[in-house]
Amino acid sequence: MNNPMVWVIMLPLLASLITLAWPRRAHWIGLLFSVITLAFSMVLVYQVFNGGPQTHELGNWNAGLGIALRADALSASLLVMAMLVFTATTFYADAYFSDVNKRMRFWPLWLMLSTAINALLLSGDLFNLYVTLELLGLSAVALTALSDNRAALQASIRYLSIGLLGSLVFLAGVALIYTGYGILDLELLAQRIQAEPLAQVALTLMSAGLIIKSALFPMHFWLPAAHASAPAPVSAALSALVVKVSLYIILRLWIDVFDVVITPASALLIGILGAAAVIWGSWQALRAERLKLLAAYSTVAQLGYLFIFIPLITGLPEGQLRETAFTALVLLALTHGFAKSALFLSAGVVQHRAGHDRIADLAGTSRALPLTTFIIALSGVALIGLPPSGSFIAKWQLLAASIHSAQWWWIPVVATGSILAAAYTFRVLGHAFGPGDSAGKVLNWGREEIPALTLALFATVVLGLGSAGLWDFISNNSQFIGG
């Protein structure tokens, strides 16, 4: 039990149950437990940094019959990002929900969401991935439905049914794998997998299910409505974390476990879908009329970049170049997590203060909410990929990898996506700096603004300037790159 991996999953689960039984003190329990869980996730990173990838067999049952928890550099760094975003959003949510009834329903589900995310990132076998995906989907849908209006309910029902379909298709793939290999453990599977039709069909089914869940173009249609109509802290977690962990499974399967099965054509196909997502998502974000809808479409676009990395990484020879491209992928995923959650939290502040989030009516926001406007600008910097944000370095490496692997066609896509991102960011800022007083009286300091500012600074400054540390961490401790 002295393993941080166990605690990172158990603590939020425990907290979720306690808040259910004791709703009156829910916010204290939520804050306390998320801070402790954050500390444990940092301990885990420290262990991975010093001792390489970690494995923990629950109850000392060997993998195969028992269930193993695993952490390598990828899962550990995503875990810390998730816990940082989660903790900051928890502080925000404490100030955000004023309705007592809503608060009572929010806390158990919120902590359950964290349990699911952490368990998914540390899962070492396919069936556990399925269970955690379902847990994640159910708590995310319930949180979306907290908004209590028609749009939110319709979006959450749609989210639920499409999510169920995705998990069932994933489960069908898992069934095929068990038929062929008789194991579900990812590490054992990686050793035994062969390039044969059964593995290909299984991978196709699992990827199809995960593509629905991670909203890759053209399966993104459910995302904007669900993410834009949820309460602000929930939207932040959905956009920054929930879709990203499905993408994490895709990466795990495509680059790590099934790497012998992948053909260049299939990698190219997923890259093309990613490129379409970049262009389409950015274009829709530019045309969006509401700030939260803009942020949701921007998520579609930013996830597209991550998919473009797949053909690049599989196309590069093993070694330094591949390592660099892989680290850039992780850096982009982390930066987007911080930036997007900051953007959603500030959209929530604007919505609270002004009573709406229509972009065309934002005039005067910069005077009334100077700090919030600053946070929106900072997260815009990270979404566009301007220095010193982490995404600047990541996109730079993305371009370099396109040249190294002789796949130049990704370069115009990245350029167009960045220009469109600049356009939609400046459109919001342009309206916000206009004359007017729609956002109410001047407010210099808001309790909700500090968590958002912290997240935005992580995206732009910490990850940008500290990326060298991440580079060492990933390249020394990843199971991936050796293939």
Judged by the rule CB under 8 A, the positions of this chain that interact with other proteins are 127, 130-131, 134, 137-138, 141-142, 145, 149-150, 153-154, 156-157, 160-161, 164-165, 167-169, 171-172, 174-175, 178-179, 184
Closest by CA to 65, choosing from 180, 144, 183, 155, is 183
- At closest approach, how far in Å is the CB of 136 from other proteins? 12
Angle at 160 between CA 157 and CA 162, to 5 degrees: 110
What would you report as the CA-atom Rg of the chain, rounded to the nearest whole angstrom?
A: 21
**Please, which residue, 129 or 291, has the CB nearer to other proteins?**
129
- At closest approach, how far in Å is the CB of 138 from other proteins? 6
Closest by CA to 215, choosing from 242, 197, 188, is 242
**Please, which residue, 175 or 399, has the CB nearer to other proteins?**
175
Compute the distance between CA of residue 269 and CA of residue 15 in angstroms, rounded to an integer: 42
- At closest approach, how far in Å is the CB of 150 from other proteins? 5
**Please, which residue, 49 or 127, has the CB nearer to other proteins?**
127
Which residues, 6+ apart, have CB-to-CB distance to 373 below 8 Å? 365, 366, 429, 432, 433
**Please, which residue, 150 or 441, has the CB nearer to other proteins?**
150
- At closest approach, how far in Å is the CB of 157 from other proteins? 5
For residues 26-40, one letter each, b for 16 or more C-beta atoms within 10 angstroms of the residue's C-beta and e for the rest, the string is bbebbbebbebbbbb
Compute the distance between CA of residue 409 and CA of residue 267 in angstroms, rounded to an integer: 14
Contact in structure between 454 and 90 (CB atoms under 8 Å): no
Dig out the tokens for 165 from the structure: 């379909």
**Please, which residue, 2 or 62, has the CB nearer to other proteins?**
62
- At closest approach, how far in Å is the CB of 160 from other proteins? 5
Angle at 269 between CA 267 and CA 274, to 5 degrees: 95
- At closest approach, how far in Å is the CB of 219 from other proteins? 12
**Please, which residue, 139 or 302, has the CB nearer to other proteins?**
139
- At closest approach, how far in Å is the CB of 149 from other proteins? 8
**Please, which residue, 141 or 330, has the CB nearer to other proteins?**
141
